[in-house]
Amino acid sequence: MTTLIWIVAALVVIGVYLSWTAGRLDRLHSRIDAARAALDAQLLRRASVAQELGTAGVLDPAASIVLYQAAHAARQAEEEHREVAESELSQALRAVFAEVPQVEAVREAPGGEESLTELSEAVRRVPMARRFHNDAVRAARAVRKHRVVRWFRLAGHAPFPMAFEMDDEPPAVLEARTGP
Amino acid sequence: MRIGIVCPYSWDVPGGVQFHIRDLAEHLIRLGHEVSVLAPADDETPLPPFVVSAGRAVPVPYNGSVARLNFGFLSAARVRRWLHDGDFDVIHIHEPTSPSLGLLTCWAAQGPIVATFHTSNPRSRAMIAAYPILQPALEKISARIAVSEYARRTLVEHLGGDAVVIPNGVDVDFFARAEPKQEWQGGTIGFIGRIDEPRKGLPVLMRALPKIFAECPGTRLLVAGRGDEEEAVAGLPREMRERVEFLGMVSDEDKARLLRSVDVYVAPNTGGESFGIILVEAMSAGAPVLASDLDAFAQVLDQGSAGELFANEDADALAAAAVRLLGDQDLRTGLSERGSAHVRRFDWSHVGADILAVYETVTAGAASVAADERSGLRARFGLARD
């Protein structure tokens, strides 16, 4: 009889532990979803402002075409090419806003100040959102590598989380506008 | 936006983290946000309207010193009530790894959580032992902020993951506009910090002092901070002791005036600094800064371009640099100008905007903060009330 009680008690403890771990994993997955949604929003925002600046005619024609092309590609990119397309947009932004006079030219145009503020905010927030996303991914991966999680398939059908890797270095000139 | 901020240390005890939280809360309130700060405090201490007391902190020996911490059922209950009443969009926890309110909140809440790591403590034994307990709480944090690149590096090494770097904020204009005081001017060196705390580096400065005083006659040292004044000057030749003035504890206004008045501000700290807010304040006041080359200090001083650096704990190097600075007006003016330009990035207008950007990033696409019912046993069997 005592043995039976002990077995039941052990099973209950194991059950609670498994349920707690599953809850933890579930929370991590929803954190990744939220972080991914935020990253998407920031990337889209950056691409929109860049496209706006590319079509506004405040930049010289060559810069406009480079910026428009990169922003358009980033917005239309399929999931598997997204990281490359967004990195190319970062490079295009750095090339176009390599020097202070270019920024001054945009600022003097009507509505240029607002666009510049939006762009500086966007290029600052993309790396933030990406860091938060990849941090969530790392935390979820650490839990999913656990033996218990693999044996009992606690992760269910959730896909193995992937980090979002891209070049998100903002143009130095714009960075100075928003602080370090 | 409704923002809840958790302060792990007693509100009645002055400290860097507490001041940072106070200034941040006031800045956010000025911008029109609703802010509530949960902090340990004695029930009879008068608190600003935005602070909610989490009860008295208990002094406990922890990590080599006596820390005042909050734990136990009462504190946990107060945290839950605060979370429930506040209905926050985001909560911002400071020092989530200290075994106090921050950790309790991490444990009890779900939703968008932002955490700031202030110290760059090497991993303690307690943390290694507590890692399996700490990890499930820490993984609820959606966004981590480190106050310096140095703090970020320690965080990444010890806890894994990543963080964005947002420095501590300073009200630059408060220091820039302070009125210099005549009696503190004219060949003065300034030092602010605890006298009896060797890490603040006063002993190093005292060892350098005879050389400085010998080379620059008429120079005085002004020391602001608590501690035993007799003991501090004990190593100095008797005739030099009267050239050291102790001002005791000074108010914020006097601190600003002191920094505006001195010819050189010296920060000889020997370690344990993760940021260096006093350097930022000195630069705001336009004081030429001479600091030890700690990682955190070098970063605040832009690798030596916004302030002079000397080899840590090297009294001779400190003396040589101080003599050079005191004897060269152009050098000081140059430092002061570069410092004033560099320090703008630490102003609350920039720092506050960055912190708000973090809040907005984590709240986009996430539900608001709620008490985490899943951590209770009842919830496990589907019995939790909503």
Residue B88's pLDDT band (boundaries 50, 70, 90)? very high
Chain B residues whose CB is inside 8 A of the A138 CB are 160-162
Inter-chain CB proximity B365 and A37 less than 8 Å: yes
Q: Which residues of A touch B136 (CB under 8 A)?
A: 24
| CA atoms of A143 and B302, how far apart (whole Å) | 39
Please indicate whether, in this complex, the C-beta atoms of B161 and A135 are within 8 angstroms of each other. yes
Q: Which helix (H) or strand (E) holds B333?
A: helix B329-342
Predicted local distance difference test score (pLDDT) of residue A178:
47
User: pLDDT at position B187, please?
Assistant: 86
State the pLDDT confidence band at B363, using cuts at 50, 70 and 90: confident
For the entire predicted model, the pTM comes to 0.84
Q: What is the CATH number of domain B173-344?
A: 3.40.50.2000
Residue B365 has pLDDT above 70, yes or no: no
SS3 assignment for A118-129: HHHHHHHHHHHH
3-class DSSP state of B13? coil
Whether residue B125 is predicted with pLDDT greater than 90 in this model: the reply is: no
Which residue type, as a one-letter code, is found at position A8? V
Amino acid B285 reads: A
A128 to B358: CB separation less than 8 angstroms, yes or no:
yes
Residue B65: other Cβ atoms inside 10 A: 6
Percent of chain B with pLDDT over 70: 91
The percent of residues above 90 in pLDDT, for chain B, comes to 38
pLDDT band, residue B373 (cuts 50/70/90): low
Is the CB of residue B167 less than 8 Å away from at least one CB of chain A? yes
> Is the CATH number of domain B2-169+348-380 3.40.50.2000?
yes
Q: Tell me how far apart the alpha carbons of residues B368 and B89 are, in angstroms, rounded to a whole number.
A: 5
Contact present, B199 and B269 (Cβ < 8 Å): yes
Please tell me if the domain spanning B2-169+348-380 has the same topology as the one spanning B173-344: yes
- Which one of A33, A117, A131 makes the best mutation probe of the B interface by having the most chain B beta carbons within 10 Å? A131
**In angstroms, rounded to a whole number, what is the distance separating the alpha carbons of residues B161 and A140?**
11
CA dist B115 and B353 (Å) reads 16
Give the pLDDT of residue B103.
85
Residue of B nearest to A27 (CA): B140
- Token readout for A136 is 């969530």
Average pLDDT, chain B: 85
pLDDT of B374 over the 60 cut: no
Nearest chain B CA: its distance from A158 CA (Å):
18
* Banded model confidence at residue B111, pLDDT cuts 50, 70, 90: confident
Beta-carbon contacts of residue A133 (< 8 Å; ≥ 6 apart): A32, A35, A36, A38, A39, A163, A164
Report chain A's terminal Cα–Cα distance, integer Å.
68
Q: How far is A107 from chain B (nearest CA, A)?
A: 20
Q: Using one digit for the tens of pLDDT, what is the confidence trace for B148-181? A: 888 888 888 877 778 899 999 999 999 999 888 8
Contact between residue B144 and residue B163 where contact means Cβ atoms under 8 Å apart: yes
Contact across the interface for B162 and A35, Cβ inside 8 Å: no
Residues of A in contact with B366 (CB under 8 A): 34, 37-38
Residue A178's closest chain B neighbor by CA? B350
Confidence band for B62, pLDDT divided at 50, 70 and 90: low
Smallest CA–CA distance, residue A82 to chain B, in Å, is 20
pLDDT in the model for residue A153: 83
Taking phi over 0 as left and psi of -120 to 50 as alpha, with beta for the rest, B57 belongs to beta
Residue B386: what pLDDT?
40
Closest chain A CA to residue B109: A27
Contact B324, B290 (CB under 8 A): no
Q: What's the pLDDT score for residue B317?
A: 93
Task: Tell me whether B134 touches chain A (CB under 8 Å).
Answer: no
List the single best residue of A45, A132, A148, A175 to mutate versus B (max B Cβ within 10 A): A132
- Which pLDDT score, from 0 to 100, does residue B375 have? 52
Which residues on chain B are in Cβ contact (under 8 Å) with A131? 162-164
Tokens linked to B282: 């000195």
pLDDT tens-digit series, residues B302-314: 888 899 999 998 9
* Three-class SS state of B26: helix
User: Which residues are CB-contacts of B366 (< 8 A; sequence separation ≥ 6)?
Assistant: A34, A37, A38, B111, B112, B142
pLDDT band at B355 (very low <50, low <70, confident <90, very high): very high
Report the distance separating Cα A126 and Cα A121, nearest Å: 9
CA distance B199 to chain A (A): 28
Q: What is the pLDDT of residue B127?
A: 67
Distance CA A55, CA A68 (A): 7
Angle between the B252-261 and B277-284 helix axes, to the nearest 10 degrees?
60
Q: What is the pLDDT of residues B2-32, one digit of tens each?
A: 999 999 888 887 778 888 999 999 999 999 9
Average pLDDT over residues B331-359: 92
Q: What pLDDT shows up at residue B385? A: 44
| Residue A72 CB neighbours (<10 A) | 17
User: The tokens 């060559």 sit on which residue?
Assistant: A62
pLDDT band at B384 (very low <50, low <70, confident <90, very high): very low
Chain A interface residues (partner B, CB cutoff 8 A) = 16, 19-20, 23-24, 27-28, 31, 33-38, 41-42, 121, 124-125, 127-129, 131-132, 134-136, 138-139, 142-143, 178-180
Q: Give me the residue spans of the domains in chain A.
A: 19-175
H helix intervals, B45-113 = 73-86, 101-108
Q: Report the candidate in A121, A137, A170 with the shortest Cα–Cα distance to residue A35.
A: A137
B139, B348, B356, B381: which to substitute to probe chain A, counting the most A Cβ within 10 Å? Answer: B139
Task: Give yes or no for a contact between B156 and A146, defined as CB atoms under 8 angstroms apart.
Answer: no
Which residue does chain A place closest to B299, by CA atoms?
A180
H/E run at residue B253: helix B252-261
Task: Identify any residues that bridge with B370 across adjacent strands, giving them in sequence order.
Answer: B110
Query: From the centroid of its chain, how far is CA B94?
Result: 11
CB-CB under 8 Å, B162 with A134? yes
Q: In Å, how far from its chain's centre is CA B96?
A: 15
Domain boundaries defined on chain B: 2-169+348-380, 173-344
Query: Would you say the C-alpha torsion B380, B383, B385, B386 has a positive or negative sign?
Result: positive
ipTM of the complex: 0.84
Average pLDDT of span B332-345: 91
Nearest CB to A125 within list B135, B345, B357: B357
Distance CA B292, CA B64 (A): 25
